[in-house]
């Protein structure tokens, strides 16, 4: 997922990269266990061009991951789709104050700013692997839901309300201080 800077011109150049299941597993498990399994390889389309000393990247990612519904716990395929834009300025001889960003600039030729839309570059090539993995992580659903009408699990008996009707009805859920309220009520009755 590298781009040679000497080949860039002011007219856009298109690149296609594919992130296989093995690539994603290696990238995601670097910080622990990979949270999602790829069902379809990740496809990245990136358009890159120079604008003076700046490098502009615009692109999109497409793929499919297997997730667990946050309501009913059923596993299903979730399509990932995200568009991104990145403006890189030449870092020249400057190094970022943050050691992690300085290391990324030396290793990948790319260092991101506070957001993922602006950064700096150095060297003769850009290695976009870390940046693209970050874009994938940001495209993950925060609370995946298999469908909008998902009934979820009953909080009392645990039955999947998409499959069966439970007999619990709507029980009032008591708060954490309900026991204290009942003690207070008992004490008030005892004083009467």
**Count of domains in the chain?**
2
Please, what's the b/e burial string for 118-155 (b: 16 or more CB within 10 A of its CB; e: otherwise)? ebbbbeeebbbbebbbebbeebeeeebbbeeebbebbe
Sign of the dihedral defined by the CA atoms of residues 170, 176, 182, 184, in that order: negative
Say if residue 158 is in the same domain as residue 134.
no
Show the domain range for 24.
2-139
Query: Are the CB atoms for 35 and 139 separated by under 8 Å?
Result: no
Kindly tell me if the per-residue pLDDT of 33 is higher than 60.
no
Kindly tell me if the per-residue pLDDT of 169 is higher than 70.
no
148 in a domain, yes or no?
Answer: no
Of the ranges 55-69, 118-132, 176-190, which is most confident? 55-69
The tens digit of pLDDT for each residue in 67-120 reads 899 999 999 999 999 999 999 888 877 877 788 878 887 888 888 877 778 888
Collapse the DSSP code of 180 into the 3-class scheme (helix H, G, I; strand E, B; otherwise coil) and give the result.
helix
106 in a domain, yes or no?
Answer: yes
pLDDT of residue 166: 82
Strand partners, 89: 120
Collapse the DSSP code of 115 into the 3-class scheme (helix H, G, I; strand E, B; otherwise coil) and give the result.
coil
Say if residue 51 is in the same domain as residue 97.
yes
pTM (global) more than 0.85: no
């Amino acid at each position: 997922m590298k781009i040679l800077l000497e080949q860039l011109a002011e007219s856009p150049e298109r690149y296609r990269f594919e992130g296989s299941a093995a690539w994603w597993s290696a990238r995601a498990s670097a910080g622990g266990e990979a949270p999602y399994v790829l069902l379809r390889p990740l496809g990245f389309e990136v358009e890159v061009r120079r604008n003076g000393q700046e490098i502009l990247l615009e692109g999109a990612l497409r793929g499919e991951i297997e997730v667990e519904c946050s309501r009913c716990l059923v596993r299903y395929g979730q399509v990932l789709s995200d568009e991104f834009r990145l403006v890189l300025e030449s870092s020249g001889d400057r190094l970022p104050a943050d050691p992690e960003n300085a290391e990324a600039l030396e290793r990948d030729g790319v260092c991101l700013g506070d957001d993922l839309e602006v950064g700096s570059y150095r060297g003769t090539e850009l290695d976009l692997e870390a940046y693209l993995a970050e874009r994938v992580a940001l495209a993950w659903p925060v609370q995946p839901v298999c469908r909008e009408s998902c009934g979820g699990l009953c909080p009392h008996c645990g039955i999947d309300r998409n499959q069966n009707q439970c007999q619990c009805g709507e029980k009032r859920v008591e708060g954490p201080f309900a026991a204290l309220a009942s003690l207070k009520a008992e004490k008030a009755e005892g004083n009467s």
